[in-house]
Each structure stands twice: as C-alpha cells, then as structure tokens.
Amino acid sequence: MSFLYFYSSKTLILKMSWTQIESDPGVFTEMIQKFGVKNVQVVDVLGVTKEAFRSIGSPLGFIFLFKWKHNQNFEDGIVLEDKPPNLFFAEQKISNACATQAILNLLLNINDPEIVLGDELTRFKDFSKNFSSDICGETIRNSAVIREVHNSFSRPEPFIMEETVAKEDDDVFHFTTFYPQFDENGEGGIIYELDGLKKGPILHTGFEGTKWLIELVSILQNRINTYGTELRFSLMAVIKDKRFVAKKKIEQLTKELNGMDEKITDKEEKTLTINKQIQELSNLVEEEQSRMEMAYRENERRRFNYIPFFIQLMKGISEKNMFSGLLEKAEEDMKIRLDKKKRKDELKKQMEKKN
C-alpha cells in the first residue's frame, strides 16, 4: 500500500513528494490558516475522559493519531461502501499525507456560518461535491496548493535519502478524523470516522441532542484498550478560534453596556460585572495571541535547517582537537547511566520477589 513509504529526509526531494507532518496543534492550526480557513484552531486533548472533553467546550471534531497495523480491523463501526451525499470523504492516495487528509476531511464537512473556508477550499469543495471518495482522493493528490501548504512544514536538507518501505515490525502511525454530523434540527445525529485508508466513511453510532462527546469517549476508550500496553496515542480537538469567540463576546457585552437603561436600580453593580467580564476576555485574547505567536516560532524552528550549523560546529571542535576529551566524557557519562539503570533494575527485581 503506497501510504506505507517512509522518507528518511523530510525535505521535498521531488515536486510530487509529501513530507511527514508532526502531531502538534500549532502545526495543524497554522496549516489550517494557510489553507485560508478563518476562526478555527487545534488544541491538545489531555485525556480520553468526559471531564477532559467537557473542558474543550464545543469541538467541531477530533483528530486521532494511533499506531497502524497491517490488516487491522477494529470492528467498532460500519464502513460504508458509498458515502452519504451530504458528507465529504476522500480516500488517501498519497504517502505521508494522512495529517492533511484528516484535517481536510473534517474542514470540508463543517457547516457553520462563523467558519470561513476561504477561496481555495470553497472552490475545492464545490468542484468535488459530486465526486466519489476515490476521485476526491485523486483530486487532493493533484492539488498543487494543498501539496504546497502541506510541504511548507518540511525542513530543507542537503542530502537526498533513499525512501524505504515500512517492514512488518516497524512503527507506523496514522491520523484519522472523528466528526459529528447533526441532523437538520440539531437535535441529534451520527458520529462518523473519516479514515482515508478505508474505502468509505465509518459509521459508528447515533446520538441524541448534543451528547456525541459522551459516545465518542466510549468509542476512543474501546479503541485504545485493544492495544493493551501501547501508550503512544495523540488526540487533538478542532475548535473555534478562542480569540474569535472571546472578541465576539466582548462585542456583545459592550453593546449591552452601552444600551443599559439609566433608570435601573443596580446599574453600577451590573456595569462593574460587565467590565470585569470584558477585562477577563481581553486577557484571554492576549494570552491566546501570545500562545499562537509562540507556536509560529516553534514551526519556524521545525523548518530551519540546522545541519550547516552542526557541520561548522564539528569542524571548529575538530580544529581545536577537542573531540578526544568529549568522547571520553561521553563514554564515562554513558557508563554511569548504565550502572544506575542496572542497579535500578536489580532493585526492582528484588522488590518483585519480596511481593
């Protein structure tokens, strides 16, 4: 299967290559923004529990990273041969593209007037609305704009490395999307999993009201439990941009404040309360802006090519004949760490015998 190709180098070696994407909310948020989408951000979810999900607010969907296994079948949903006419789903046709595929499968299903898809994705959605899942995947593969945004997170490398095929015992990780499709009245709906490696969307379960998060907790917990002791999972939520939500509330509170009747008895108290809320929301906007700018800086570091720096550093160390001392110190430090680990393992075995 083509998606199981690893690239030893993250560089864009050929024009049609797609780089690997890190599971990081800052990366996904900037990718969404580069597509032209507005008022959306991605955040980490710190646990698959009802409490963790409630703390998010009202997520638009989730992106789940898990260890992929050959011939893996979770049997926790029904793979639909034909996607519903009102649901976007694209099969994955590109190596290393499951991150972009996951976010596109979610973004192109969001029907919220406050979420602005932007010109590029709007055109893409209109162009592909009558396509099959297979052709939608091919359309993504052939989109120069989508490929360019995806590869904007690659790091330029001076070496061209040969690509290799993942072996049976290699660790291969894959992104999939969970999306709640509400009915027309918004009083319930269906939870779909949009996994590009499947032939169609996976229908998981229906839900009433807005209780889809409760159902999703159960789905994800059961999925994780099938892995036994495996702990390498990542879950991110796609939400409305916290800055956008806070600014909208500030605008509403400001209108309420300006339109307050002069004759009400507790006007002073209400004014203080509203001003306090506005200040708290303004602080939230500043905090989120700082967090976003920090994520942008981190992404710049991801793109930066550090190899020339390390080459010059090694040359400088070599010219000053410092390698021998550094190597001896490294060997000594390694011996100390191994001795500590050995003593720790021996102590652990002794404790197990006593118990």
User: Which amino acid does the sequence have at 114?
Assistant: E
Determine the Cα–Cα distance for residues 209 and 44; give it in Å rounded to an integer.
25
CA angle 123, 61, 38 (to 5 degrees): 45
Beta bridge partners of 190: 181, 206
Determine the Cα–Cα distance for residues 147 and 48; give it in Å rounded to an integer.
32
State whether residue 40 is helix, strand or coil: strand
User: Which amino acid does the sequence have at 109?
Assistant: N
Tell me if 50 sits within 8 A of 213, measured CB to CB: yes
Closest CA to 28 of 50, 45, 3: 45
Please state at what angle helix 25-34 crosses helix 144-151, rounded to 10 degrees.
150
Q: List, by residue number, the catalytic residues.
A: 98, 174
Q: At a CB cut-off of 8 Å and minimum separation 6, what does 159 contact?
A: 9
Three-state SS for 278-303 is HHHHHHHHHHHHHHHHHHHHHHHHHH
Tell me if 216 sits within 8 A of 181, measured CB to CB: no
Determine the Cα–Cα distance for residues 217 and 227; give it in Å rounded to an integer.
16
What does DSSP assign to residue 21? -
Residue 353, CA distances (Å) to 253, 344, 345, 346, 350 in order = 65, 14, 12, 11, 5
